[in-house]
Amino acid sequence: MDSENGTDPRVVGIQQKARKYDTKRSMNLFKKTKRIIPTGASSLMRTSSWDPYPLYINKGKGTRIWDADGNEYTDFLMAFGPVINGHANDKINAAVRKFLRNGSIFGAPNELEYKLAREFKKFVTTQDMVIFSLSGSDATFNALRIARAATGKDMILKFEGHYHGLHDYAAVSVEAPAPISGLRWFPKSLPYSAGIPPSVMDTVVVASWNDLESLTKILRIRGNEIAAIIMEPVMANSTVISPEGDYLKAVRELADEYNILLVFDEVITGFRVSEGGAQKLYGVTPDLSAWAKALGNGYPISAIAGKKEYMELIGNGVGYGGTYYASPLSMAASLANLKLLEADDFAAYSHLGRITRRMARGIEDIADNLNENIWVNYETGVLAFVFTEQKKIRNYRESVNMDWNKYKAIQQKMLQKGFYYHPDGAERLPPSVAHTEDDVDRFLVALEESIKEYNKEN
The catalytic residue positions are 163, 265, 293
**260 near 227, Cβ under 8 Å?**
yes
Q: What is the largest CA-CA distance in the chain?
A: 75
HSE (side-chain half, CA atoms, 13 Å) at 406? 19
Distance CA 264, CA 248 (A): 10
Q: 56 with 41: CB under 8 angstroms?
A: no
Q: Who's near 364: CB < 8 A, 6+ residues apart? A: 374, 376
- Angle between the 328-370 and 111-123 helix axes, to the nearest 10 degrees? 30
Three-state secondary-structure class, residue 61: strand
Q: Which segments of 265-324 does DSSP mark as H helices, in order?
A: 277-282, 308-311
Question: Is 137 in contact with 300 (CB distance < 8 Å)?
Answer: no
Closest CA to 358 of 449, 442, 237: 442
Helix, strand or coil, per DSSP, at residue 255 = helix
* Measured distance CA(363)–CA(444) in Å, rounded: 7
In sequence order, which residues have a C-beta less than 8 Å from that of residue 378 and are 6 or more positions away?
240, 356, 357, 359, 360, 384
Give dist(CA 69, CA 56) in Å, integer: 8
What residue type is 93 in one-letter code? N
The residues, any chain, with a CB within 8 Å of residue 2's CB and separated by 6 or more, are 8, 9, 12
Is the CB of residue 272 less than 8 Å from the CB of residue 348? no
Which residues have C-beta within 8 Å of that of residue 332, sequence separation ≥ 6? Answer: 95, 96, 98, 99, 112
Beta strands in 220-260 (DSSP E): 226-231
Choose among 423, 401, 415: nearest CA to 447: 415
- Would you say the C-alpha torsion 227, 396, 80, 364 has a positive or negative sign? negative
Please state the φ and ψ torsions of residue 61, each to the nearest 5 degrees.
-155, 120
